[in-house]
């Protein structure tokens, strides 16, 4: 894991989150979410509430996927919120030993 992420920079905050997922570090991954956070899953569904977000993030952490982000886009929404659009590719083996490859455009 890279040790010095500038989490005030949206790109580095996102890289920190992805690094936590790759390492399977649920505790640190969840520090990326505010009480009012909304997580968009790969199908575009909104998931709110830290307990619900933690279930999704736990599944990702358990897979320790190889995630490659190939494009970032930030769109400000108000003073303290951005809509974050990442294009990414994820390769992982789930707990049932099914290898999968996904592309996605997640989160706010």
Name the DSSP letter for residue 3: S
Q: Is the pLDDT of residue 108 over 50?
A: no
pLDDT at 27: 97
Paired with 76 in beta bridges are 82
Q: Is the pLDDT of residue 70 over 50?
A: yes
Distant-in-sequence contacts of 101-105, Cβ < 8 A, 24+ apart: 102/42, 104/42, 105/40, 105/44
In terms of Cβ atoms closer than 10 Å to its own Cβ (0-12, 13-18, 19+), residue 105 is middle
> What is the CATH code of the structural domain delimited by 10-104?
3.10.450.50
Q: Is the pLDDT of residue 107 over 60?
A: no
pLDDT, tens digit (0-9, with 9 covering 90-100), for 48-65: 999 999 999 999 899 888
Q: Is 105 within 8 Å of 85 (Cβ atoms)?
A: yes
């Amino acid at each position: 894991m890279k040790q010095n992420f500038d989490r005030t920079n949206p790109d580095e905050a996102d890289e920190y989150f992805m690094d936590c997922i790759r390492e399977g570090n649920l505790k640190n991954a969840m520090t990326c979410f505010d009480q009012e956070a909304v997580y968009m899953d790969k199908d575009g569904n909104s998931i709110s509430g830290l307990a619900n977000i933690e279930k999704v993030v736990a599944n990702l952490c358990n897979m320790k996927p190889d995630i490659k982000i190939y494009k970032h886009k930030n769109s400000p929404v108000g003073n303290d919120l951005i809509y974050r659009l990442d294009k990414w590719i994820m390769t992982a083996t789930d707990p049932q030993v099914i290898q999968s490859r996904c592309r996605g455009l997640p989160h706010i």
